[in-house]
Amino acid sequence: MAKPNCTTHCGGVAIPYPFGIGPNKDCYFDEGFQIECRHTNSTTSANYSRQAPFLKRVNLELLSIYPFKDGRQSVRVKNPITFFSCEGKETRQPQNLTGSPFIYSQTDNIFIAVSCGLSATLTSDHGTVAECGSICRNNTNRNFRNCLGGIDCCRRTLPNTWDRRKHSSAFSIKIQSNSSTSDPMGNCNYAFLVEEEWLRINLSNVRDVKHRDNVPVVLDWILNAHDYGERYRENPDLTGNHSTPLCTRNLTSWGDRTTMICACQSGMEGNPYLLQPCQDIDECKGSNKCGGDVCLGSGVALLLLLIGAWWVHKIVKKRKTIARKKMFFKRNGGLLLEQQLSSGEVNVDKVKLFNSKELEKATNNFSIDRILGQGGQGTVYKGMLADGRIVAIKKSEKVDKSKLSEFINEVVILSQIIHRNVVQIMGCCLETEVPLLVYEFIPNGTLSQFIQEQIEEFPLTWDMRLQIATEIAGALSYLHSGASFPIYHRDIKSANILLDEKYSAKIADFGISRSISIDQTHLTTRVHGTFGYLDPEYFQSSQYTDKSDVYSCGVVLVELLTGQKPISAVTGSSEEEERRSLFTYFITAMQEDRLFNVVDARVLKEGSETEIQTVANLARRCLNLNGRNRPTMREVTSELEAVQMSRKPSFSAEQNSEGVDFVEDDAVGHWDVESLSEVSASY
């Protein structure tokens, strides 16, 4: 409850008194509780601006204000992560709260340090608050989740017995190396205070915070009794009037200031920091200003009138909600999906129709803290269903009628696919303004992140790259020739390949995929896809074949070999940057016998020349400009499996060292390198 005539919300966050939004100083208790409503860029998209409330005194973004509970009053804010020697990351310490009405909560927050063979310390000006140390066990398949056990990361709760007068508002974080151990995973280390409940629900791996700049923490706040003493002095007998809030002095000491907390008494409700805030329907009963019976009768009549009005409002609102859900269901392709369900084309057992309340609760009303990623098809959120299952929920962008078929198409396609390397659909929701898709949650992000960002803690070994390439090829082979109807994915790229907890590949995003009849050889469609992965033959003819997926898979193979982006910026002779196609870069290197100059350093270190040449030749054949000369996905899978098998001890050294020459005849087609550059530039 805000003060009358004061702004009540900012960015979806309710602002109750003593907090308030300026410039009217009467809207907040003092400058420590002043809220500034700012326009900020989304953490996931620089083009998306939103309003967000900030605690002006300490310059922290406010996420929510908690109601009075457990004798405490709290707020959730975004607090910076403290990085040490991390490329592209600024080393920022926890925000100094000195001089504000806030202190870091020792009840809700914990201290986390992500490092190997290092010790981390959280200190104040008066000494150590918390410290922990980690040991090294470089196991890339380990699930670090909540950082229990002290392996490669550590955690500590904040002591309940700390002196709040000393350890309340000004913290700093230090990380130092233990002399007996070293970190084999690199020098990037980081530590932070974080709300323990948020960490438990939102992170499957505590190392994921490396890709964030901040995490939520809880701050307790208490009013200064000296400044707020008028209410206390005016009501010395606080037990006589139930509408008067109970105010407690000396709940805790903070420096030389005595603090105060106020709350409505039992059976009352309201904002205890406003004048006469706590309301009760028997307020006038027994008052000398009106007769008891008359007052009681009037009160009952008024109560019944209010209940009746509330009931009518509730019924009308419920009917409107039902009508809106029906309208959205129809608009979002519900009738089309029902047609597919009745036709038998959809696996009904795999597709559940979720209601909107389930998914709103699962994602905390689609909080920005739950965003996993954004793309052209929509935004993906992490959610937890009522039964405890973690899911990924794709919230589509506002779609027009021409794109509804793409959404329903993804449901239909995925319901038909049963393969361990294809992401599983769990259901959808059509009764919201924009349609929602629910998938199994894949915890380790995209292949693109691991290739392009070169994550030091979990490097892609040569064995992992071979395994991922084989799994991608096997899944596409299944789609092309193993499913009941051939399916063309049409948007194969490293960003659409997810990695599960064991770093196995899962192909995702079937929004523009198509199934075809067995006697069809191609689709004639408007060109869809992603630049850098798009088949030049398809781009010119608008005819999409299974060999177009092969081309895109070839680009992913080259990404795995080189660690390069499919389209990257290079500095040209002029001041402007030029765009370089990985296709042209790779094929040119192959033709000039410079393969090992462009291969990723880890691949060179861990793979044999024979294996690298075999995979490179396979990728080159996949990138043939003439689709007829490309291998099938089944052939790609077989050759990759053979390379994998050659690395196993059961194969002889002679078999493993058999030479493989570069394929020169018709490997690229009849176009020369200059032609390749023209093609790559055209799309």
Q: Residues with catalytic annotation?
A: 491
Say which DSSP state 141 is in.
T
CB 462 within 8 A of CB 625: no
Q: Which residue has the tokens 């054949």?
A: 621
CB 560 within 8 A of CB 468: yes
CA angle 190, 202, 409 (to 5 degrees): 125
As given in the structure block, the two tokens for residue 215 are 């995490």
Query: Is the bond preceding 459 in cis, omega lying within 30 degrees of 0?
Result: no
**Neighbouring C-alpha atoms within 13 Å toward the C-beta of 515:** 19
As given in the structure block, the two tokens for residue 468 are 């991922």
Kindly report the number of other CB atoms within 10 A of residue 275's CB atom: 8
CB 296 within 8 A of CB 283: no
Kindly report the number of other CB atoms within 10 A of residue 453's CB atom: 12
Alpha helices by DSSP H, listed for 213-262, are: 229-234
CB 193 within 8 A of CB 103: no
φ, ψ of residue 209 in degrees (nearest 5): -70, -15
Q: Is the dihedral of CA 111, 113, 119, 125 positive or negative?
A: negative
**b/e 470-501 (16+ beta carbons within 10 angstroms → b):** bbbbbbbbbbbebbeebbbbbbbbbbbbbbbe
Strand partners of residue 396: 378
φ, ψ of residue 358 in degrees (nearest 5): -55, -45
As given in the structure block, the two tokens for residue 371 are 């965003």
**Neighbouring C-alpha atoms within 13 Å toward the C-beta of 611:** 22
Dihedral, 450, 451, 455, 459 alpha carbons, nearest 10: 90
As given in the structure block, the two tokens for residue 441 are 């949650």
CB 514 within 8 A of CB 536: no
Q: Which residue has the tokens 């329903």?
A: 408
Distance, CA of 557 to CA of 5 (rounded, Å): 62
Q: Tell me which residue of 483, 540, 480 sits closest to 680, measured CA to CA.
A: 540
CA angle 394, 395, 397 (to 5 degrees): 125
As given in the structure block, the two tokens for residue 644 are 């994998």
Q: Tell me which residue of 120, 93, 102, 5 sits closest to 62, measured CA to CA.
A: 102
Q: Using N-to-C axis directions, what is the helix angle for 582-591 and 609-622, rounded to 10°?
A: 120
